[in-house]
Structure 1
Amino acid sequence: MTPSPEQPEKPLLITSELLGLPPYVVHPQDLSDSFNLVPGKIGSSIRQIDEETVVKYGPTVSLAEAEAMQFVSSHTNVQCPKVVGAYVLDGEGHIIMSYEHGKPLHAFWENASDKDKETVIEQLQRYLKEMRSIKGDYVGGFNRSPCVAGEFQWDYDHESDYEYGPYPDEHAFNDGIMEAISRARPWPANMDPESNGYNNTYRTRRLVHSLRDHEIVFTHGDLHAGNILVRDDLTVVIIDWGTAGFYPAYWEWYKATWHGPFKPSFIRQVERYIPPYWIEANIMNQIFNMILG
């Protein structure tokens, strides 16, 4: 009997229960042919497939990001890309969404009038008030997915698939931050309690766990000026929801300001639309520097 030829395996397609089946799946070859590339983050690419539609795709693109955008659109007045469909194909996430026309906030700000600037800030104030009014009962990515942030991406053992959270509360989240430090910079086992290493670890743990008693609120998690677009009609659109989830109330301020505003004076504008947490941000900047080494 002649053995039958092996059939090629079908691509593994995973979809979101919240979003349902996508209206179509973009062929991988179409993403690598002649479409215009829009700059994306590490681990993701964005390609424009027609005048009004883009696809964000890559190994770090998650269904949770699409779910977060859908949630924002249906529960708030915050403007963000409209999700057409989302799926994971052979391990790569894909989000088909509207292409948003507009200038990044830093480009808009340079030549805008004081009146137009105030219009934009007032919108951001309303957006953040709405978002932060949505409380969470866990800490982590949207729809109880793991935490997504730079603090959780450094691993001495290079276990890229290691997941942090979601966590039941802020105390457990702080334990996760300590774990992230230890995985990025492993401490020797059985250290002498009188050693500098032992006491540095003790001080670090006490520092991290001084972050407590914060409300857990819905958070974008990367609200720098490049992720805020201003349309010609001055409507503000927030993009790139890959780090969205529920985090302690200080997290939005910390993540929006940790690498500094696009111009020094703009920190005083950020302070107007995101409640500032100067002490917590200072602590987390120290922690992030420990993780980076």
Structure 2
Amino acid sequence: MTEEAGLWDQDAELWESLGYEAPVRVNLMKRICDLTSSAVGVKFSPSLRANPPPLVPVERIRNGLNIAPHRLNGCYLLQLDEKTILKVGLRVHMGESEAMILVRNQTSVPVPKVFNAYMIEDIGFISMEKIDGMQLGRNWSELPREMKESLAQELRGYIQQWRQIKGSFFGTVDNGPCQEIIFQHPWENKVYRYGPFATRRGFNKGMVEALAKSRPNLKLETEQDIRFAEELLMSGTDQEEIKVFTHGDLDMSNIMIQDGKITAIIDWGAAGYSVPEREYFALRWPALDEDWCELSTSILPPDGYEYWYNINRQMKLYTCI
């Protein structure tokens, strides 16, 4: 086995979960390079279609440095040079590039500039600016309290800016399916699409469908499931229907800092128009640090957190994903 094959070979289980009849070992990087070489049927991100930039050359992809070798979500982060990162893989979609372009155009939020973004078959490519800084979580525990509070307020200001952007549907910016974490717990790790949805009632029906598909027999299993599904169907229908732009994955690893300031918000793969409560839930749900948990309520109101936490818990009751 060559050094390159040892670096890039992926477990066939991922491919099989996406509907492929894969051999025991599948070299995803080889497929990415083959598709790049043939460049047949390229579909550019909507904002770039009028004047599409050149594709990333296959030689640059082969020579790229994998800066996140332990990622398990079907994509690579390749550093092509000192200023350029390529995110490429099966789980990369144009809703992410469109979200970054939208935020850069309509806010002052520091977001990597998108140089190019396109799909070749089911592989997504996003070439973007490499931002200086380190992940907030890397040295959070060592930061003085005053700096933590300052960073929390800076983040609050950025979130308030992008929450001014409203949509007419629930889904990704390019009218793709919803990327909420509650839709990411399918039984047997199958991939399903939910949405986009024009109304909250449609969104709620999507949640019920996701609940059923998180069960071993792909249907509601118990009386408790049925009662919970009825609760989901009525969720938020007595409130004003707002579809607010949402990052959706504000984990500390997706916030870059340098010299006590935020230099970038990264990883917009879960972004889209969603319910207002989703942003706080995604910010708070994975957090373990006590200071971050406390400061999170100064960043966003915690309204609805327990309810959405329970939805997510019910979705992963059988899968534990």
**Normalized against structure 1, the TM-score is what?**
0.85
Alignment-derived partner of residue 5 in structure 1: none
Q: CA deviation at 1:29?
A: 4.6
Matching of residue 203 in structure 1 with residue 232 in structure 2: no
Name the SS for the 1:18 alignment partner.
Answer: helix
Count the aligned residue pairs. 277
Alignment-derived partner of residue 252 in structure 2: 225
- Correspondence for 2:99 among 46, 68, 77: 68
Q: CA deviation at 1:10?
A: 5.4
- Correspondence for 1:234 among 257, 261, 270: 261
Change (3 A) 1:159 1:115: closer
Identity, % of aligned positions: 28
Q: Separation in 2 of the partners of 1:14 and 1:45?
A: 20
Does the Cα contact within 8 Å between 1:120 and 1:236 map onto a contact in 2?
no
Name the SS for the 2:48 alignment partner.
Answer: coil
Which has the higher mean CA deviation after the structures are superposed, 243-252 or 268-277? 268-277
Change (3 A) 1:210 1:95: same
Change (3 A) 1:188 1:250: closer
Does the Cα contact within 8 Å between 2:115 and 2:129 map onto a contact in 1?
yes
Which letter does structure 2 place at the counterpart of 1:271? T
Does the Cα contact within 8 Å between 1:68 and 1:241 map onto a contact in 2?
yes
Alignment of 1:140-155 (within 5 A): 140-155=171-186
Which letter does structure 1 place at the counterpart of 2:46? E
Which has the higher mean CA deviation after the structures are superposed, 19-28 or 47-56? 19-28
Name the SS for the 1:60 alignment partner.
Answer: coil
Unaligned runs of 5+ in 2: 1-36
Name the SS for the 1:269 alignment partner.
Answer: helix
Matching of residue 250 in structure 1 with residue 280 in structure 2: no
Q: Separation in 2 of the partners of 1:201 and 1:266?
A: 33
Question: Whose radius of gyration is greater, 1 or 2?
Answer: 1
Deviations 1:246-292 (A, max 9, x none): 11111111222223x14133211111112213332333233333362
Matching of residue 288 in structure 1 with residue 319 in structure 2: no
- Correspondence for 1:170 among 159, 183, 200: 200
Alignment-derived partner of residue 11 in structure 1: 40
Name the SS for the 1:96 alignment partner.
Answer: strand
Unaligned runs of 5+ in 1: 1-7, 192-196
Q: CA deviation at 1:111?
A: 2.5
Alignment-derived partner of residue 185 in structure 1: 215
Name the SS for the 2:249 alignment partner.
Answer: coil
**Normalized against structure 2, the TM-score is what?**
0.78
Q: Separation in 2 of the partners of 1:156 and 1:116?
A: 42
Change (3 A) 1:114 1:188: closer
Q: Separation in 2 of the partners of 1:17 and 1:239?
A: 20
Change (3 A) 1:89 1:147: same
Does the Cα contact within 8 Å between 1:208 and 1:283 map onto a contact in 2?
no
Name the SS for the 2:317 alignment partner.
Answer: helix
